[in-house]
Structure formats: structure tokens, C-alpha cells
Structure 1
Amino acid sequence: MDDGTAPSRRGALIDLSPLRASSAFARLWGSRAVAGIGSQLTLVAVGLNVFTLVRPSEGAAAATFAVSLTGVLALVPTVLAGLYGGMLADAFDRRTVALVSGTVSWLSTLVLAALAWTGTETVWSLYLLTVLTATATTVLQASESAATPRLLPRGLLPAAGALNGIAVGISVTLGPGLAGVLVATVGFAWCYTIDAVLFVATLAALLSLPRLPPEGVVERPGLASLAAGIGFLKRAPNIRTSFLVDIVAMTFGQPRVLYPAVGAVLLGGGALTVGLLSAAYAIGALLSSVFSGRLGGVRRQGLAIERAIEVYGVFIALFGAVLGIAALGEATEVLPSPAGPVFVALAAVLLAGAGGADNVSSIFRGTMLQTAAPDSVRGRLQGVFIVVVTGGPRVGDLYAGVLAATGLLFLPPLIGGFLIVGLVALLVRRRGFLAYDARHPTP
């Protein structure tokens, strides 16, 4: 379905037309919101679980670095899964690829829950299962994203991106906060169990999808297929630039591995603060999607991406400044240690702003890829896109973990925010990207 039909309304509130236009998309979207809550439960719980296992013997700085490794160790498998999963999505029925990868992700979560219930989880078992889940989820996301333009008209893809932002916003708003409460009250095992139960919604939605066999020339997964996809990306400067600016933003602007130490040492509040900071980012994304109605009328989507990421960098730098002020106040005994709820609130507001800016960028980057790339290579490019979206933050986990090992928790976001603003300005100097016109999409 690619007739280019554009929605007629341009109100401030989100356009719900994609849900009416395709029942298959509606079911898939609903499952993302439900299952996403469980995924966030596990994401936050694993970080806290590792922090809890390491901190008593190694200290907060070493525990923060250990938390960062939950993402770093999954980086290479995620990259491989994104590339190979994209090739699978271009060579086989995308519904089948999504079902198989989703089942693997679900089974790994069940094992994680079983270990937690028996009290036999270790840092390395958490690492291993996180890697397996991330790998399977990457293939699943590549297949789902490549399928979306087959379910909706081209003109509804920005609205679909905003709706996906709503789904992510709901899950990341409710998930981390609920994880903080569950970890603080009933423990880690309940987080993993609830995730496994909620993920059944994704499996049900995938089963209800129509068959989505490949279109055009089909290439068997392998080096030739990968080379063809990379070759297309080399000839697609707009898509390539959208990938690069997101890598910069996610590498230098994802302070999530700092949250356990920030909650335990700097700001106070423990698991509840971790949940609040994670949820604040999602609330910003959610609100930006709720009021995204006019985004569908934006034609200069490259310029919109650049401005959104610059704003994101500013919010991240300000978040680092708040942490720095809190640390300085505690060191000079001007502020209590930990700094307390006022600084928690300031940090949460800034993270909400960052989440909103990141979501706007995500909507336009996803739309640019889905409209400018032909279906025959869309799976491979979606695989690269997923690698960028998931791999960037994992490199960012290492960046933040290494700098945080100095004990100065404010350094990663403060320096990172300035790096984002400067590097993105350099990357978009190419005039064609800033002039990209959504009515005449060119890769």
C-alpha cells in the first residue's frame, strides 16, 4: 500500500488515521504498547540486578561500569543480528521472520524469570540472556519496521511513526516506574515474569498479520545480499546522514547507565529515582507524539531532524549541569548528601525534554527511510537502522560507564551534550539533507 495518500487533517493532536486504515497495523501497534511495558520492566530490572550483585563487593563506580556492560556486550551480536535480520526480511516472509525471532526473545525472558525465582542468577547469566534477548529483538524489529509500509499508504507513515512513539512512550513511561516499585517491594523475579506474560500480546499480533512475502528481486541472505544493501546505502546520502546523526546523539546522549548510581549516591531515592528518571524521558516522548498532528505536514524533514537532535543535545548538557551542581553542592556541604527531591525533579524535567526531541527526530528518520528506500532493500536498511538505534546507545553505555568510573557522574551528559551539538552541525553541512523534501523523497 503505497499510494502516497496524505491525511487531510492537520490538527495539533496525533492523527489516528493509520489505526483506521489498517487493522493489521492497529493490532501490531497495540501489542507494541503492551509488550513494551514488560520489556522496560526487564531492561530496568537487569540494570538494578547487576548493580545490586556487584556493588557490595566492588563499590558504586565499579557497579555502574558493570551495568554499562549489559549493553556493551550485546553490541556485536546486535549489529550482526540487525544486518542478517534485515537480509532475512528481504528474502523471506516478514511475518515468519518476526514470529521466529519473537519466540526466541520470549523464551530467553522465561529463562531469566526462572533463574530469578530460584535465586540462581549471576552477573554473567544476566549478561548472556540480555545478549540473546537483544539479538532476537533486533531481528524482530527489523522485520516489523520493514513490514509497516506494506500495511499503510505512504502519506500515513509519519502518523504511524508518531503512533509508534505513543506506544514506546506508554511502555517507557509505565515500565521503568513500575520496575522501580516492583524491585523495591517484591523483587526482580516479578519484573521478568510480567515481561514474559505481556510479550504474548506480540506473538498474538504477529500471528494475525497477513503473509508478507518479498517483492522484487530476491537475494539469498549472505555476503552478496549484504553488499547490495550496503552499496545502496552508499548511494543514499540522505538516509546515510540520518543514520550518522542518530549515532552521534545516542552515543553521547544516553545517560541511562548512570541512573542506578545517581539514585543510590548522588540524588537519592534508589530504585524509585531510577524508575522516575527513566519514565521522565518516556513522558517527553509520549507528549511529543500526542501533539504530533502537524508533523505530517512537515516537508523539510532533514532540517527537522537536525533541529530536533540539536535540541536534544542541549537538554542532555543541562541534565549533566544539574548533576554537576548537585555534586558540587554536596562536596562543599552547601547541599545535603544525597541532594534530594528538588534535583530529582529538575533532572526529570530535562530528561523529558530530551525524550520529546529524540522522538521527533525518530519520527522523521523512520519516515525518511520507509518512503525513500525501495521495498526490495528496505529490510536490509531497516536492519542497519535498528543497529544504529540499538547499537548507538550501547556504545553510549560504554562511554558513560568509562567516564563515570572517575566518580564524576555529571561528566558523561555534560560533555556529551556539547559534542552532540557540535558534531551534528558538522554532519549536516551537506545542503541536500537539509533541503530534503518529503513530497519528493530521494534516498
Structure 2
Amino acid sequence: MDTRPLGVQAYRRLWVGQAISHIGVGATVVAVGQQVWELTQSSFWVGLLGMANLVPLIVFGLWGGAVADAVDRRKLLIAGSVVAWAATLLILVQALLDLRNIWLVFGAVALNATGFAITGPTRGAIIPRILERELVPAANALNSLVYSIGAVAGPMVGAVMLASGGFAAAYAVDALLFTGSLYAALRLPSLPPLGEVSRPGARAVLAGLSFIARSPVLLMSFVVDIIAMVFAMPRALFPELSADRFGGSMIALGWMTSAMAIGAVAGALFSGWVGRVSRQGVALVVVIAVWGLAVAAAGLAHELWLVVTFMAVGGVADVVSSVWRQSILQLYAPDEMRGRLQGAFMVVVAGGPRLGDLRAGATATAFGLSGAWVGGGIACMVTVLVVGLSVAGFRNFRAHQPTQAPDRPAPETG
């Protein structure tokens, strides 16, 4: 793994802060899904958590990306981090008071998504500002490792806290560890906008979306990720699978929630080869097809170790896909549009799994657990092969050849 970006102090602080805070995020993910399941006994309601996340992600992700192009990105990162921390404290308080109010849980989740929608594109736009261009792909692999370690350790910690101290204990871990991310943001240097500044608003957002729409490579990199997450993400089904096949074990739930990230850690640790792949369009289609096949196989398994193994294979495919897609976007975009394009990217990356949660919960209600899980994985594999290989510009894209970016409309300055 290429660790050169860690030699840059500002990036190293961000990386360490994210590594610490994402363990707490993972603990909350497993705890909030289990809390909603216990309150409702319905995978559909667990799936609706995706919508509580999705709406703020779309609205504030696109808006936050536009703001990130117009203000000091350090200050915006701090503001978004405070919002997310406040949401974590709110969900902790409701658990301590044992309010058992499903709408309060959903409200806290939506507030947390708002904070994430602001910090996500801002942090992505900061990376190319604090690192040399040649280090950006390596930084994205390191970021994937951080997210994956958090997604492995966090649910395991959350499962232990649930078993020993209940929901409040799991949420308290998140509230405590989030301070690592906030500290890293506070220690960043000032990062004022470069070039012409577009006034944040609908016109700036539309300019960013138009830039994506006029680039087949960028557009299809978004489309194939949406296919992967919406069709095949089985996360909302984990509590039901744990109850049906593993006696409702919290440890089984923790293993299933961590399984993808276990594979992602392995994929990120051995990611040095990823930057040497030239035909990244075809490669993205292949790894997403592997993801769908692995999910389908996991849905057919009745042993916990097999479920974890197949989902880990899917995690390897997912992290490789993520590194390619993020690097294409960051290096393709001019700095004055990076915030907006990162906002759109974050909406897709974070919003896709939430739509997948809704899809999984709804189809499980209609067709049963196996039909929703296995059918989704097969549908992902078939759809991404058909759609991804049908666009010549994406199919023939090579990472190491110069790419002509589409012309940008004149900004609305202020």
C-alpha cells in the first residue's frame, strides 16, 4: 500500500481523526438498525432508515458541495462536524431516557445525515488541495482503509456494547470517538476558494450537475455505483437474517454488518495494483458484477462463516470500485467545481445504499428474505454488465490517457 500521503501533516491528522471517529459511526449503524427492529419487528421500517438518511444527503450534499466551492473549506468542515456531533448526542440522550420513540430516532438519524452531507463533499474537495496530484489515488485508498476499519471494528464494538450495556452504551462510544474527527478539522490550515467563486445556490448546483451530464465517463461512474447499491445492498435485512437463521444473536449481527468492511480492509491493504489498471471503465463493470454475485451467494448461505466470507468478497470488489471512481472524479474536476462534484458523488455513494435499504426492506416484505437478498444480487450483476458495457466512451476509457473535460458554463460570481 502507498502510504506517502501520511507524510503530509494536514492529511495525516484528517486520516487519524477519521480512523477514530468511524469506529463510533460503525457502532451507531449497528445499534440504530437493531433499535428500530426491536421497536417495530419490521425490516421495512429498518429499510426506511435509508430514507431518513437519503433526503438530507441529497439536499444538503448538493448544497454543501456548492458552499464548499465558495467559502473556506476548513470552516465549513468544522460546522458540518458540529451538526453531526449534535445528532449523535441527541440519539444518545433518547436511549439514556428510554423514550422508545421511533420518530425521534429517525429525526436524529436525519440530522446526522445533514452533518455528513456537509462534511463529505468538503473533505473530498480538501484532499487535492493539501496533497500533490500524484498522491491523490493513494490517499483515496488510505481513506477507503479508514472507512473499512471503522466498518469492521465499529459494528463489533457496537454489538459488544449492545449485549453488555444496551443502546446507550453503543451511542456513547460514537459520541466520544467523534471528537477525533472534530479535532482534525480544527487543526487544518485555512483553505479559501481558488479561482472564480460561484455564489452558492441552485445555479451553482445545476452547473455541477450539467458538468457531470456532459461527461460520459463521470456519468457512468455514478450510474454503475447506483446499480450496485440499489439492487444489491442487503444491509436492511441483517436483523431479520440474524433472527431467522442465527437465533437473534447480536454477535452474528455484528459479524454480518462488518463482513463487507473486512473484505474492504484486505482490498485496501493490497491496493497498490489498482493505480496500474488502465481500462478502468471495463474494470469497474467487472468488479461491480463480482459484488452482485458475491451478495447473491451470501444470501444462499446458511452458515454464518459463509455469509461473512461471501460478503467480504463483495467488500473487496466495492473498495476497488470506490478508489477508481473517487480518483477519476477528483483528478478530472477543476478546483472551483470540486466541491459541487464531490457533493454529487457523495449523494450517489451515500444515497445509493439508503435506496438499497428501502429496496431490500420493501422486497423482503413482498417476496421474503431470500428473494430480496439473492434476487437483488443477481439483478445487480446482470444490469451492470448490460448497462455498463453499452456506453462506448465508458467502455473504452483508459485512465492514463489525457481526457478532455467538457466546457464549463460561466460562473455566477459574488
Query: Shorter-chain TM-score: which interval?
Result: over 0.9
Shift of 1:256: 0.6
Moved more, 67-76 or 36-45: 67-76
Report the identity percentage. Answer: 41
Q: 2:395 and 2:143 mapped to 1: Cα distance?
A: 25
How far does the alpha carbon of each residue in 1:127-153 deviate from its partner, in whole angstroms, 9 at most, with x for none? 000011011111101100011111112
Partner of 1:387 in structure 2?
347
> For residue 234 of structure 1, what is the aligned residue in structure 2?
213
Asked if the contact 2:49/2:106 (under 8 Å) is kept, the reply is: yes
Find the aligned partners of 1:299 and 1:90 in 2 and give their Cα distance.
Answer: 30
Q: Are residue 31 (structure 1) and residue 27 (structure 2) matched?
A: no
- 2: CA distance, partners of 1:159 / 1:294: 11
* Residue 95 of structure 2, aligned match among 103, 112, 116: 116
Q: Work out the CA distance in 1 between the residues paired with 2:274 and 2:139.
A: 11
Give the deviation of 1:407 after TM superposition. 6.4
Cα distance, 1:276 vs structure 2 = 0.4
Deviation string 1:166-218 (CA, Å, 9 cap, x unpaired) is: 10111011011111111111101011111011010111100111111111211
1:248 pairs with 2:227 = yes
Partner Cα separation in structure 1 for residue 342 and residue 401 of structure 2: 20
Alpha carbons of structure 1 residues 441 and 417: separation in structure 2 relative to 1, 3 Å: farther
What whole-Å deviation, never above 9, does each CA across 1:267-321 have from its counterpart, x for those lacking one? 3352211100111111000000011112122222222212111111110111122
User: Is 2:394 the counterpart of 1:433?
Assistant: yes
Give matches, 1:15-414, under 5 Å.
15-20=2-7, 22-55=8-41, 63-322=42-301, 326=302, 343-406=303-366, 408-414=368-374
Indicate if the aligned counterparts of 2:255 and 2:308 stay in contact, CA closer than 8 A.
yes
Separation of aligned partners in 2, 1:169 and 1:75: 21
CA distance in 2: counterparts of 1:52 and 1:114, whole angstroms: 18
Q: CA deviation at 1:90?
A: 0.7
Q: 1:392-435: CA deviations, max 9, x gaps? A: 11111111001111462111221111221222122222222133
Comparing 142-151 and 210-219, the one that deviates more: 210-219
For the 8 Å contact 2:228–2:288, the answer to whether it is kept is yes
Kindly indicate whether the alpha-carbon contact (under 8 Å) linking 2:83 and 2:114 is maintained by their aligned counterparts in 1: no
Q: Is the alpha carbon distance of 1:251 and 1:441 closer, same or farther for their aligned partners in structure 2, counting shifts above 3 Å?
A: farther
User: Mean Cα displacement is larger for which, 133-142 or 295-304?
Assistant: 295-304
**Is the Cα–Cα contact under 8 Å of residues 313 and 418 in structure 1 kept in the other structure?**
yes
SS at 1:268 equivalent? coil
Aligned residue identity for 1:349? T
Q: Which region of structure 1 is more displaced relative to structure 2, 409-418 or 98-107?
A: 409-418
- Aligned equivalents of 2:351 and 2:58: distance in 1? 7
Cα distance in structure 1, aligned partners of 2:108 and 2:402: 40
Cα distance in 2 for partners of 1:111, 1:206 equals 22
Does the Cα contact within 8 Å between 1:260 and 1:270 map onto a contact in 2? no
| Closer, same or farther: CA 148–302 of 1 in aligned 2, 3 Å | same
Aligned-partner Cα distance in 1 for 2:396–2:135: 21
Query: What secondary structure does 2:262 align onto?
Result: helix
**Segment drifting more, 220-229 vs 285-294:** 220-229
Distance across 2 between alignment mates of 1:214 and 1:138: 19
SS of the residue aligned with 1:410? Answer: helix
Change (3 A) 1:408 1:214: same
- The amino acid across from 1:436 in the alignment is F
Task: Check whether the contact 1:372–1:441 (CA below 8 A) recurs between aligned residues.
Answer: no
Aligned letter for 1:431? A
Contact 2:56 2:117 in 1 (8 A): no
Contact 1:248–1:420, Cα closer than 8 Å, also in 2: yes
Query: Could you say what secondary structure the match of 1:213 adopts?
Result: coil
For the 8 Å contact 1:249–1:420, the answer to whether it is kept is yes
Aligned residues: 403
Q: Which runs of 5+ in 2 are unaligned?
A: 406-414
Q: Cα deviations across residues 332-378 of structure 1 (Å, max 9, x unaligned)?
A: xxxxxxxxxxx111111000000110000000000000011111111
d(CA) in 2 for partners of 1:407, 1:426: 25
Q: Distance in 2 between matches of 1:206 and 1:440?
A: 35
Q: In 2 relative to 1, CA 176–235 (structure 1 residues): closer, same or farther, beyond 3 Å?
A: same
1:77 to partner: Cα distance: 1.8
RMSD: 1.3
Q: What amino acid maps onto 1:265 in structure 2?
A: D
Distance 2:290 2:123 in 1: 29
* Segment of structure 1 superposing worse, 420-429 or 122-131: 420-429
Q: Residue 66 of structure 1 aligns to which amino acid in structure 2?
A: W
What amino acid sits opposite 2:13 in the alignment?
R
TM-score using structure 1 length: 0.89
**Alignment partner of 2:378 out of 409, 414, 418:** 418
Q: How big is the shift at 1:441?
A: 4.8
